[in-house]
Amino acid sequence: MKVLVAGSGIIGVSSAYYLAKAGYDVTVIDREDGAAMGTSHANAGQLSYAMSSPWAAPGVPYKAIRWMFSKYAPLIVNPRLSFITIKFIISILRNCTTNRYITNKSRMMRVSSFSKKTVAEFINENDFDFELRNNGVLQIFRTNKQLAECKKDIAIYEKYGVKYEVLDAEGCVKAEPGLRHVKNKIKGGLRLIEDQSANCFMFVNKLVEKCKTLGVNFEYGVEINKINTIDGNVSSIETSNGEYMADNYVVALGCDSSSVLKPLGVLLPIYPVKGYSITLPVKEDLDAPQGSLVDETYKVAITRLGDKVRVAGIAELTGYDKSLSNKGEEITTFVINNIFPKATKETTDNEFWAGLRPMTPDGTPIIGKTQYRNLFLNTGHGTLGWTMGLGSGKLISLIISGDNTQVDLDGLGIERYQ
């Protein structure tokens, strides 16, 4: 049986891997000239299974207004608001109630917990280096208010049996010795002990090689133009490289999933939330992060990847524009110099990058069937595609095979919007 996977980011390649393992004849197509050239290219590298929370949460609307007036704001809204941006903001606001937050969080935790299990299985079965670090993820609080507020999250972690520790400034320095230079700026931290960090781009490219050994065919430079349907089935996909036909089709096109599927009446509420990263060479090992952190004040993630440090964050609402802005570079550079002042070397090539997070208003990805019998969705992973990637790939393979998914699928599919 043939499956065509559209998209070779972390989600498409993970789907291809598990489908090939299940015995399908898989082809992956992508318009780029290699794998992980879209949003999976230079993300923050956090495998935040425990920290999987929707952005839309009670209190966020007030915080958002405050952020818009701060110098190094984690949220930037283009003042020329387009229709799609307004629609997205409204749908985010609707999800900021306590009830919706709890529902959305529990759906996301279901996918992330499954992914955590899948990553562990994968590591047992495969021996390849992708700069994985098992140091947990440390949230750094610069104010007593942030420290007090983390109690709400702790109640949720207790409920889900997540291993965590609350640290004072001394404890933060013990976990991350590079923070010793700024101990006076830190009020405390929350460490999610079992979260991890690793290089997504490296992983996807190594997984492509693994997939090839299982017979997966990758075709690059192939732009999808149109999807044809007959009698409730997809019949073919028209591309810049001709027509592709398969028995089943998986759409893993990140932010572009919505525009490609709209003509078919499959309406996905995915909005491209732009983020930035810079990647800098480490100067001195013990002055640099050993694992991954989030500076809660600026909502910026700082991750050690091999002999480099990746600094990533910012949510910019500006539609599909992927251009690099001075503001993005200014904020990420400020945060790394402020919290790890001796970590990185000066360089003329700081690998500054921007990517579009495929965000759904409820933070949950869209995984499952559509109204077309042989068309499946694996998209909308927003801020957590790397975390949820392997689990989502395995999940879509189990759904297509009709096997027991081991995960309650309720609320994960497109039907929740209908």
Residues in touch with ligand FAD (CB under 6 A) = 7-12, 30-32, 37-40, 43-46, 48, 223-224, 252-254, 256, 260, 275-277, 301, 312, 355, 357-358, 379, 381-387
* First CA to last CA distance, the chain: 31
Residue 126 or 259 having the CB closest to ligand FAD: 259
Q: How far is the CB of 9 from ligand FAD (least distance, A)?
A: 2
Q: How far is the CB of 367 from ligand FAD (least distance, A)?
A: 11
Residue 169 or 255 having the CB closest to ligand FAD: 255
Residue 74 or 385 having the CB closest to ligand FAD: 385
Is there a contact between 147 and 301 (Cβ–Cβ < 8 Å)?
A: no
CA distance 300 to 277: 9
CA distance 117 to 273: 28
Name beta bridge partners: 165: 191
DSSP 166-185: EE-HHHHHHH-GGGGGGGGG
14: closest CA among 2, 5, 23?
5
The sign one gets for the Cα dihedral 355, 361, 365, 366 is negative
Residue 11 or 343 having the CB closest to ligand FAD: 11
Q: How far is the CB of 242 from ligand FAD (least distance, A)?
A: 13
Residue 12 or 291 having the CB closest to ligand FAD: 12
Q: How far is the CB of 168 from ligand FAD (least distance, A)?
A: 26
Strands (E), 119-232: 137-141, 164-167, 188-192, 196-197, 217-220, 224-230
Residue 225 or 406 having the CB closest to ligand FAD: 225
The sign one gets for the Cα dihedral 56, 146, 305, 350 is positive
Q: How far is the CB of 285 from ligand FAD (least distance, A)?
A: 22
Q: How far is the CB of 162 from ligand FAD (least distance, A)?
A: 16
Please, how many CA atoms are within 13 Å of residue 361, restricted to the half-sphere of its CB? 20
